[in-house]
Structure 1
Amino acid sequence: MRSANVTNSGSGKIPATIITGFLGAGKTTLVRHTLEQAGGRRIAIIVNEFGELGIDGDLLKSCGIPGCAEDSIVELANGCLCCTVAEDFLPTMAALLDRAEPPEHILIETSGLALPKPLIKAFNWPDVRARTTVDGVIAVLDAAAVAAGRFADDPAALAAQRAADPALDHDNPLAEVFEDQINAADLVLLNKADLLDPLALAALAADISKKIPRAVKILSITQGKIDPGILLGLAAQAEDDLAARPSHHDAVDGAHEHDDFESFVLDLPETAEPEPLITRLRLLAEQHDILRVKGFLAPPDKALRCVIQGVGARFQHYFDRPWRADEPRRARLVVIGERGLDRAAISAALTH
């Protein structure tokens, strides 16, 4: 059964939902769950990856969900969407809207480093504005990571530290990205809520609520599961509400640098087994400040592809589908971290 608030933007325009959140927060899992509950609706997905390996797009394309055709998923891997709006996003939106059967809803999964506000602004481009609207901005947070104090720095404290320490010549970019994402949100989802006890979860929600300069609903979820009727149909028309969504980068019209981050792809032996590999990855994540690991393994005794995902020192793996006859069985990971990653040391530890 289709929920009316999932299908109607209230303006006659095709609604688009921007899903933002830091690396490993669970955005792709949320998108997959939404597709599974879509009831056959025509939903298009734009996936923006940071890195050279299309893991998130491939996970969605191979989801096996009825009605989820591969041409409904568009990958934009040429750079962060908020930096490539004119080159990538606007032409992609035009192509989707010009289809004989345009989508009924568009989900946009940004990279973990994207600032939402420049993307929201792009919806004021005349051709896009005439046909689409930002139904809502969803910020997906890794509840356990945020509760542990990562990516939630106090801007005032950072400013005071900068003033007191002449050696500190820049603000924490992770904190700025995090704050820009929650400031732009119409709904904040505390994902992986099962990793926190109820008191810690309530304290986290209260703390985040204080950081956002307007009333925004904060919900706790596990494994990206939420009723699409809550996620979609917010009718926020965010492109008309930019002033209420402050950004650290407003003064420079959304411009920002990603020079603090880098990623590389690592080919592994086909004999790699998930458990020993994860043991080594946990140690490497602590030694080398690795932020995110994701990819596929091809254990020789398994007919199914093994997906491996990691955030900091937390890793999981599962087998998602058989390898197709037209694709090579190979094990590959993309490793994402702050600039200065010791690629040689990481590669040697994982391939020897």
Structure 2
Amino acid sequence: MDKTTRIAVGGDRPYDVLVGRDLLDPPQLLPGAQRLAVLYAPPMRGRAEQLAERARMAGVTPLLVEVPDAEAGKHIEVAASCWERLGAAGFTRADAVVGVGGGAVTDLAGFVAACWLRGVRWVPVATSLLGMVDAAVGGKTGINTAAGKNLVGAFHPPAGVICDLAALDSLSPADLAAGMAEVIKCGFIADPVILELVERDPAVAVDPAGPVLRELIERAIRVKAQVVSGDLRESGAREILNYGHTLAHAIEKVEGYRWRHGHAVAVGLVYAATLALLEGRLDAQTAQRHRAVVGALGLPTGYRAEAWPDLLATMRVDKKARGSVLRFVVLAGLAHPTILEAPSDELLHAAYREIAE
């Protein structure tokens, strides 16, 4: 039988992240729940129905709630429709919400749970690589608005997180590679062994049947767990997890959220490294390593040159900005993240020119 790894996330409301295969039993993480709202996007209908059946066997009444796939589901209208379903079913504070799917679905499920009755328990069942190593861990929930990505949300830690590795078997190679952008991020900010494992054999690193991908997932989760355990509300050290994300979120908005999040993060990582290099904080070898590792997985390393004015305007409303002051997470060396505050427009544009297509 496949082992289950438990990774502890500390803080005021500690919980475990379970990593293994064929893990579909959220009721065990939600003792006392009488009803379970299972939010899922259409591609995950079969998995959600399996989970609902497990709930029934445990004496819990499931409520299946289908939501739009990917970023299309992260809208206030979708959240409102979920709350209407909870109200019609008589959900109380003793009940719970489960999000089955990738990062978009778990972001939505967590936000729905955070707001219903001012907070009910919830469990993300991450079925994508991106969801496992990033969105499902840390208690950040949210939806998108016309102004930008994840600008409305709440910090609401889950009762536990389930990372079912069996779900990765059916992911497309493109989705697996995109999810690796968040793994690579963890390598650059905290755990260089991640980079070494990817560089050794990029194809093996994204093989869902092999042990290397599992090790990469567990290492990335441990990086995030360690950071969020000491800073739930992103008031300090947690900001380092946004490495590469300031430009990435701007690209996603400019693209109308049609780009994969991991593709945008990949470009954002290369940009942040270039920014640190030009500012004199990062050595050329480590900066070039970003481009090499990202490129080895077939991820993009640049973006459209003519998009710069729109990207800059969007970055100015980034969550890490303070007033009109832009702030970037950059490296002062491998695994040494720091904050670059108020870079000049000239520096920002110069770095972008280096990666522009």
Q: Same fold (TM over 0.5)?
A: no
Highest relative contact order (Cα 8 Å, sep 6+), 1 or 2?
A: 1
Higher strand proportion (structure 1 or 2): 1
Higher helix proportion (structure 1 or 2): 2
TM-score band by shorter chain is 0.3 to 0.5
TM-score (normalised: structure 2): 0.35
TM-score (normalised: structure 1): 0.35
